[in-house]
Amino acid sequence: MVNLHALPASALRGEGMTSQRARDRLVTKLVEEGIRDERVLEVIRQLPRHHFIDQALHSRAYENTALPIGHGQTISQPWIVARMTEALIEREVPGRVLEIGTGSGYQAAVLAGIVPTVYTVERIEELLRQARRRFRQLGIENLRSRHDDGKLGWESDAPFDAIILTAAGDRVPTKLLDQLRPGGVLVAPVGGPSQQLLVRLRKGDDGTVVREELGPVSFVPLLGGIG
């Protein structure tokens, strides 16, 4: 598991808008907006989000907003990263988590600070290349990534204890539910381009799925194929 206390100084260095104080202020805001899980708050307090976005946007890195990362995609809003992570680890910390939609790599890095092993899949090769460079620079080693259509999951390493989708489709792809172990949990935005709900699915030991609605959200679409 990544030890954020051992991050290279260069990764944590920041001044003004990218400083520790800016991260602390973001965490205060997240607490005000209902995030309670200390494990999640601690990772967000330590992980340099500015490292996951273009330099031109560094001054906005610790605002509680989604930001563009190129290719028409966005790094998710910190609140939603926190909420989804909380929803995923609430009952127990899963051993192996599969993320669909690496994007900037921020959500994957947050997970890597909490769970033993993270698998992440991205369909846009250039975004994945940049995310991998960031993982390397931050010394994150408990994470495997792959360029593929995430709707297919990661068959060779299934089943997973938890699955998180960070792009929205009309429904959760069957292959992903198939790759969730009995007792596992899946968190995903579900819906069309204008209206989506964050849902949590729990797979019972007998394979039945229980669905919970966690509230309205807004994500980029889950697309097919690779880019």
Report whether 108 contacts 120 (CB < 8 A). Answer: yes
- Phi first, then psi: what are they for 53, rounded to 5°? -130, 165
For ligand SAH, the binding residues in 157-176 under the rule CB under 6 A are 166-167
DSSP H helices in the chain: 9-12, 20-32, 38-46, 78-89, 106-112, 125-137, 174-178
Q: Which of 51, 132, 134, 151 binds ligand SAH (CB under 6 A)?
A: 151
Our finding on whether 50 is near ligand SAH (CB under 6 A) is: no
How far is 161 from 12, CA to CA, in rounded Å?
A: 31
Catalytic residues: 76
Binding mask 103-132 for ligand SAH (x = CB under 6 A): xx-xx-------------xxxx--x-----
Nearest Cα residue to 154 out of 189, 116, 188, 121: 121
How far is 120 from 144, CA to CA, in rounded Å?
A: 6
Minimum separation from the CB atom of position 226 to ligand SAH (A)? 8
Minimum separation from the CB atom of position 196 to ligand SAH (A)? 13
Our finding on whether 75 is near ligand SAH (CB under 6 A) is: yes
Give the residues lining the site for ligand SAH (CB under 6 A): 73-76, 100-101, 103-104, 106-107, 121-124, 127, 149-151, 166-167, 220, 222-224
